[in-house]
Amino acid sequence: MTQGATTDVWTTPLTPLAFLGRSAEVFAESTAIVHGDRRYTYAEFAAEATRVANALAASGVEPGDRVAYLLPNVPEMLVAHFAVPLAGAVLVAINTRLSTEEVRYILDHSAATVLVVDAVLYETVRPVADELATVREIVTVVDPAAPGDGVGSGLGYADLLARGSDAPRPWAVDDERATITINYTSGTTGHPKGVEYHHRGAYLNSFGEIVHSGHSADSVYLWTLPMFHCNGWCTPWAVTAVGGTHVCLREVRGDTIWRLIGEHGVTHLNGAPTVVTTIMNAPEAVPLDYQLVITTAGAPPSPTTILQMERMGFRIVHVYGLTETYGPYAVNQYQHAWDDLDGEERARLQARQGVGMVCADRVRVVDEQMADVPRDGATMGEIVMRGNNVMKGYHRDEEKTAEAFRGGWFHSGDLGVVHPDGYVELRDRAKDVVISGGENISTVEVEQAIVSHDAVLEAAVVGVPDEKWGEVCKGFAVLSAGRSAEPQELIDHVKTTIARYKAPKYVEIVDELPKTSTGKVQKFELREKEWAGRGNSRIQG
């Protein structure tokens, strides 16, 4: 090549597809996936991804089409992260905890043409299976390790595979900024938004996971984090890149987690602090004779939890991000100088959100004029980000995309401070989002569900402390004159209108809600009462 060659000649578009192509050669006979009695080598993993990609093409899936998956953490979901983009299509991984209407909205909004659904979860889809706007075909996956006798409808997964062939496809793309997946937010302001990831961002974020969680060919990764959540923080691609072993987990249970740790020598897992609590408090919990890395996000792990996990042989890697940033964007980068600190002080430093990952740009905390706040650990501002690991935009929503990127930076809606060492610490969540078990829950959505009960005049919802989930929703309801309703009645009503996990754990009937002179409900007052004496940042600001 000559020095005057164009840039395109010198470069190859980045895509995580290349990871499986490489590992299928380098680690061909190594164990790639474990699930119950099933085992896949890397050669078999790549072969199935190729067959599914060819089967989708044979089913009429065109480049750029959306293919939706409603599956728990089973092998077919891992395969989808390579097979769907290998077919040139876009993967839409749907939250398995959503209600029928929420699933319908995502399928229609994304204009998915094919839906692959777990047989047990098919009951969520059944009521609308014949009413979906764009889905031409539903494929059912029967998991031998599934509880019960879930039986779906339509085409079986084996039938889909039979349509495919073993004809090789290139583990490459022409455009690294083409959309690889769409991940729907939990709908913090009404309908969920479809967050578009591109191949380049997924590729680079995967390297961030490898570096900061310390993955290698010796990694045995347990799937405690849902793959539908930010594509499992890009870990399907990261662990595959280094030839590690994926241990699938259909349901997060303490006894199952400890059994799999013992059987497979698990070295890594990811999850919200509630997963950490589940592991730590399980009757089967025992101190480990090796170090198991837990990468956690969703809410800062408490210093107490960090210390307890260290004593059991776990190492906490604390990360921070959003759906719009491919999952983790910042990491609490450990400093060797902290080794000399007492345990409580070290754990306090580790509970901060930290700095940008090696693959990311710097995290900024800014005031309303987009100027950086002082590094004083006290002045609050909004956390903003940009770069390779920030979404392309919201699917079919130019207005909200423009709003999110005002000033040229992605606005997280999270409030934080910057310490003198440059580490960011989250202080509050804007818009009163409740983070329960790592899931974002819109208080507005829950309030609307409560008010839809004919006895309720108005309602407010805030997050309240919970030992297991970190925080849960509590509703405050004002009843219409002359009407009556019991708290449990309102909770049960909410569960019929939105996903059950979003329903408030508690409801208090009150005579009135605290309001400003302009009639705005002062949720801060409600929240402060619930968190009083708990030392939680939720009551600040």
Q: Tell me the pLDDT tens digit for each residue of 288-343.
A: 999 999 999 876 666 667 777 888 999 999 999 999 999 999 999 999 999 999 98
Name beta bridge partners: 476. Answer: 460, 508
- E runs forming strands in 36-168: 38-41, 66-70, 90-93, 112-118, 137-141, 155-156
Q: What is the assigned CATH class of domain 358-430?
A: mainly beta
Compute the distance between CA of residue 436 and CA of residue 348 in angstroms, rounded to an integer.
22
CB 263 within 8 A of CB 255: no
Sequence letter at residue 460: A
Q: Which helix or strand (DSSP H or E) is residue 13 part of?
A: none
**Picking from 202-211, 451-460, 497-506, 521-530, which range would have the lowest pLDDT averaged per residue?**
521-530
What span, in angstroms and rounded, lies between the C-alpha atoms of 421 and 338?
Answer: 13
Alpha-carbon distance of 268 to 245, in angstroms, equals 10
What's the rounded Cα separation, in Å, for the pair 184 and 400? Answer: 14
d(CA 437, CA 274): 5
Q: How many CB atoms lie within 10 A of CB 527?
A: 21
Q: How far, CA to CA in Å, does 465 sit from each of 29, 234, 438, 472, 527?
A: 48, 30, 14, 7, 10
Residue 188, amino acid: T
pLDDT, position 447: 85
Q: Give the whole-angstrom CA distance, residue 259 versus residue 501.
A: 26
d(CA 512, CA 503): 21
The CATH 3.30.300.30 portion of the chain extends over: 442-539
CB atoms within 10 A of CB 347: 22
184/228 Cα distance (integer angstroms): 9
- Between CA 148 and CA 145 the distance in angstroms is 9
On whether the CB atoms of residues 54 and 165 are closer than 8 A, the answer is: yes
Instruction: Select the more confidently predicted residue: 187 or 12.
Output: 12
Which pLDDT score, from 0 to 100, does residue 126 have?
95
Residue 523 tokens read as 């949720």
Find all residues with CB under 8 Å of 118, minimum gap 6, and list them: 70, 71, 72, 74, 96, 140, 141, 143, 146, 150, 152
| Complete DSSP assignment for 343-403 | HHHHHHHHTS-BEE-TTS---EEE-TTSPBPPSSS---EEEEE-STTS-SEETT-HHHHHH
Residue 413 and residue 382 in contact, taking contact as beta carbons nearer than 8 Å: yes
| Strand duo 456-466 + 470-479: pairing | antiparallel
* pLDDT confidence band for 436 (50 / 70 / 90): confident
Can you tell me the distance from the alpha carbon of 483 to that of 470, in angstroms, rounded to the nearest whole number? 34
Task: State whether residue 334 is helix, strand or coil.
Answer: coil
| Amino acid occupying residue 112 | A
Give the CA angle between residues 376, 333, 370 to the nearest 5°: 45
For residue 531, the number of C-alpha atoms closer than 13 Å in the C-beta half-sphere is: 20
* Token pair recorded at residue 514: 């605290």
Q: What is the pLDDT of residue 149?
A: 57
- Position 538 confidence tier, pLDDT thresholds 50, 70, 90: very low
CB 227 within 8 Å of CB 248: no
Amino acid at 361: D
Note whether 366 and 375 are within 8 A (CB).
Answer: no
Contact indicator for 111, 66 with CB cutoff of 8 Å:
yes
Buried b (16+ CB within 10 A) or exposed e, 162-172: eebeeeebebe
What is the model's pLDDT at position 301? 66
Q: pLDDT tens digits for 487-526?
A: 999 999 999 988 999 999 999 999 998 874 334 577 878 9
Instruction: Among 64-78, 269-283, 294-308, 454-468, name the most confident range.
Output: 64-78
pLDDT score of 191: 86
The residue behind tokens 């009951």 is 123
Residue ranges of the chain assigned to CATH 2.30.38.10: 358-430
The pLDDT assigned to 434 comes to 84
Least confident piece of the model among 91-100, 108-117, 292-301: 292-301
Q: Mean pLDDT in the chain? A: 90
pLDDT band at 536 (very low <50, low <70, confident <90, very high): very low
Kindly report, as residue ranges, where domains of CATH 3.40.50.12780 are found in the chain: 11-331
CA dist., res. 516 & res. 521, Å (int):
7
Q: What is the pLDDT of residues 54-82, one digit of tens each?
A: 999 999 999 999 999 999 999 999 999 99
Tell whether domain 442-539 is in CATH 1.25.60.10: no
The first and second tokens of residue 395, run together, are 């699917």
Using CA atoms, how far residue 45 sits from 38, 49, 338, 378, in Å, is: 12, 6, 41, 50
Measured in whole angstroms, the distance separating CA 534 from the mean position of its chain's CA atoms is 27
Give 7-17 pLDDT, tens digit per residue: 567 889 999 99
**For residues 203-215, average pLDDT:** 98
How does DSSP classify residue 62? P
Residue 33 has pLDDT above 70, yes or no: yes
Cα separation, 361 vs 38, in Å, equals 40
The pLDDT value recorded for residue 468 is 86
Band of residue 439 on the pLDDT scale cut at 50, 70, 90: confident
Rounded to 5 degrees, what angle do the CA atoms 149, 155, 157 make?
70
Q: Which helix (H) or strand (E) holds 30?
A: none
CB atoms within 10 A of CB 397: 15
- Whole-angstrom CA distances from 179 to 15, 83, 108, 192, 363 are 11, 14, 18, 18, 24
The fold adopted by the segment(s) 11-331 is: Rossmann fold (3.40.50)
